[in-house]
Amino acid sequence: MNYCYLQAPFGKLLLTGDKLLESIEFPVQGTKKKPGVGFIYNEKPFLQVLKQLKAYFKGELTKFDLEFNIQGTKFQKSVWRELETIEYGKTISYGEVAQRIGNPKAARAVGMANNKNPIPIIIPCHRVIGKDGSLTGFGGGLEIKQYLLELEKNECTH
Protein backbone atom coordinates (compact mmCIF):
# COMPACT_ATOMS: atom_id res chain seq x y z
CA MET A 1 0.00 0.00 0.00
CA ASN A 2 1.29 3.46 -0.92
CA TYR A 3 0.89 6.70 0.96
CA CYS A 4 1.83 10.35 0.80
CA TYR A 5 0.90 13.59 2.50
CA LEU A 6 -0.59 16.81 1.23
CA GLN A 7 -0.17 19.99 3.22
CA ALA A 8 -3.71 21.38 3.40
CA PRO A 9 -4.54 24.78 4.92
CA PHE A 10 -5.58 23.02 8.15
CA GLY A 11 -2.86 20.35 8.42
CA LYS A 12 -1.42 17.36 6.60
CA LEU A 13 -3.81 15.03 4.82
CA LEU A 14 -2.77 11.38 4.59
CA LEU A 15 -3.53 9.82 1.19
CA THR A 16 -3.38 6.04 0.85
CA GLY A 17 -4.01 3.53 -1.88
CA ASP A 18 -2.49 0.84 -4.03
CA LYS A 19 -2.70 1.94 -7.68
CA LEU A 20 -5.61 4.31 -7.05
CA LEU A 21 -6.62 6.53 -4.14
CA GLU A 22 -8.42 4.56 -1.44
CA SER A 23 -8.52 6.96 1.49
CA ILE A 24 -7.88 10.49 2.69
CA GLU A 25 -7.46 11.02 6.40
CA PHE A 26 -7.54 14.31 8.24
CA PRO A 27 -5.00 15.33 10.87
CA VAL A 28 -6.21 14.73 14.42
CA GLN A 29 -5.96 17.81 16.64
CA GLY A 30 -3.39 19.25 14.23
CA THR A 31 -1.22 16.10 14.25
CA LYS A 32 -0.77 14.24 10.98
CA LYS A 33 -2.09 10.68 10.80
CA LYS A 34 0.44 7.89 10.46
CA PRO A 35 0.23 5.31 7.64
CA GLY A 36 -0.29 1.64 8.37
CA VAL A 37 2.57 -0.76 9.02
CA GLY A 38 4.33 -1.70 5.81
CA PHE A 39 3.01 1.26 3.83
CA ILE A 40 5.49 2.74 1.34
CA TYR A 41 5.93 6.48 0.79
CA ASN A 42 5.22 6.97 -2.92
CA GLU A 43 3.60 10.05 -4.45
CA LYS A 44 3.45 8.58 -7.97
CA PRO A 45 -0.02 6.94 -7.69
CA PHE A 46 -1.39 10.21 -6.30
CA LEU A 47 0.00 12.81 -8.71
CA GLN A 48 -3.41 13.73 -10.18
CA VAL A 49 -5.02 13.67 -6.73
CA LEU A 50 -2.34 16.01 -5.35
CA LYS A 51 -2.65 18.35 -8.33
CA GLN A 52 -6.44 18.54 -8.09
CA LEU A 53 -6.54 18.93 -4.31
CA LYS A 54 -3.99 21.77 -4.48
CA ALA A 55 -6.14 23.49 -7.13
CA TYR A 56 -9.25 22.96 -4.97
CA PHE A 57 -7.61 24.57 -1.95
CA LYS A 58 -6.57 27.55 -4.12
CA GLY A 59 -10.20 27.98 -5.22
CA GLU A 60 -9.32 27.02 -8.81
CA LEU A 61 -11.16 23.67 -8.99
CA THR A 62 -14.83 23.03 -8.29
CA LYS A 63 -15.22 19.45 -9.51
CA PHE A 64 -12.79 16.58 -9.14
CA ASP A 65 -12.13 14.26 -12.06
CA LEU A 66 -10.32 11.32 -10.50
CA GLU A 67 -10.40 7.56 -10.45
CA PHE A 68 -10.40 5.97 -7.03
CA ASN A 69 -10.99 2.61 -5.40
CA ILE A 70 -13.23 2.64 -2.36
CA GLN A 71 -14.74 -0.15 -0.31
CA GLY A 72 -18.20 0.01 1.19
CA THR A 73 -21.63 -1.56 1.28
CA LYS A 74 -24.08 -1.15 -1.57
CA PHE A 75 -25.99 1.43 0.52
CA GLN A 76 -22.83 3.38 1.41
CA LYS A 77 -21.76 3.49 -2.22
CA SER A 78 -25.21 4.76 -3.26
CA VAL A 79 -24.90 7.58 -0.70
CA TRP A 80 -21.35 8.41 -1.82
CA ARG A 81 -22.40 8.53 -5.49
CA GLU A 82 -25.18 10.93 -4.55
CA LEU A 83 -22.78 13.13 -2.58
CA GLU A 84 -20.70 13.54 -5.74
CA THR A 85 -23.71 15.24 -7.39
CA ILE A 86 -23.92 18.03 -4.78
CA GLU A 87 -22.71 21.16 -6.51
CA TYR A 88 -19.69 23.08 -5.31
CA GLY A 89 -20.73 25.77 -2.84
CA LYS A 90 -24.12 24.13 -2.13
CA THR A 91 -25.32 22.18 0.88
CA ILE A 92 -28.16 19.74 1.39
CA SER A 93 -29.55 17.90 4.41
CA TYR A 94 -29.15 14.25 5.29
CA GLY A 95 -32.89 13.88 4.67
CA GLU A 96 -32.51 15.30 1.16
CA VAL A 97 -29.78 12.78 0.39
CA ALA A 98 -32.05 10.01 1.68
CA GLN A 99 -34.85 11.27 -0.59
CA ARG A 100 -32.54 11.43 -3.59
CA ILE A 101 -31.42 7.81 -3.17
CA GLY A 102 -35.04 6.67 -2.90
CA ASN A 103 -34.99 5.87 0.81
CA PRO A 104 -36.66 8.88 2.48
CA LYS A 105 -36.60 7.42 6.01
CA ALA A 106 -32.86 6.74 5.92
CA ALA A 107 -31.52 10.15 7.01
CA ARG A 108 -29.73 8.62 10.00
CA ALA A 109 -28.25 5.83 7.84
CA VAL A 110 -27.12 8.49 5.36
CA GLY A 111 -25.32 10.18 8.24
CA MET A 112 -23.59 6.93 9.12
CA ALA A 113 -22.56 6.39 5.48
CA ASN A 114 -21.27 9.98 5.40
CA ASN A 115 -19.19 9.19 8.47
CA LYS A 116 -17.62 6.20 6.69
CA ASN A 117 -16.75 8.14 3.50
CA PRO A 118 -13.17 7.05 2.80
CA ILE A 119 -12.25 10.01 0.58
CA PRO A 120 -13.72 13.18 2.06
CA ILE A 121 -13.37 16.44 0.12
CA ILE A 122 -13.31 14.53 -3.19
CA ILE A 123 -16.60 12.88 -2.23
CA PRO A 124 -17.96 16.05 -0.62
CA CYS A 125 -19.57 14.81 2.60
CA HIS A 126 -18.82 18.25 4.09
CA ARG A 127 -21.70 19.60 1.96
CA VAL A 128 -24.27 17.65 3.99
CA ILE A 129 -25.72 19.53 6.95
CA GLY A 130 -28.57 19.19 9.43
CA LYS A 131 -32.09 19.95 8.21
CA ASP A 132 -32.08 23.08 10.39
CA GLY A 133 -28.95 24.30 8.61
CA SER A 134 -26.60 23.40 11.45
CA LEU A 135 -23.20 21.88 10.88
CA THR A 136 -23.25 18.36 12.20
CA GLY A 137 -20.56 15.73 12.70
CA PHE A 138 -17.61 15.54 10.36
CA GLY A 139 -14.64 13.16 10.46
CA GLY A 140 -12.16 16.01 10.26
CA GLY A 141 -13.96 18.02 12.93
CA LEU A 142 -16.46 20.86 12.58
CA GLU A 143 -13.70 23.47 12.17
CA ILE A 144 -12.48 21.77 8.99
CA LYS A 145 -16.04 21.32 7.74
CA GLN A 146 -16.64 25.04 8.28
CA TYR A 147 -13.36 25.85 6.51
CA LEU A 148 -14.32 23.77 3.45
CA LEU A 149 -17.78 25.32 3.23
CA GLU A 150 -16.32 28.84 3.54
CA LEU A 151 -13.72 28.04 0.87
CA GLU A 152 -16.51 26.99 -1.48
CA LYS A 153 -18.53 30.15 -0.82
CA ASN A 154 -15.81 32.17 -2.53
CA GLU A 155 -16.15 32.34 -6.28
CA CYS A 156 -14.07 29.94 -8.28
CA THR A 157 -11.49 31.61 -10.53
CA HIS A 158 -11.67 28.95 -13.29
Residues designated as active site? 125
CA-to-CA distance for 150 and 51, rounded, in angstroms?
21
Q: How far apart are the first and last CA of the chain?
A: 34
CA-to-CA distance for 77 and 52, rounded, in angstroms?
22
- At 105, phi and psi to the nearest 5? -95, 10
Locate the DSSP E strands across 9-157: 11-17, 21-25, 40-41, 92-93, 128-129
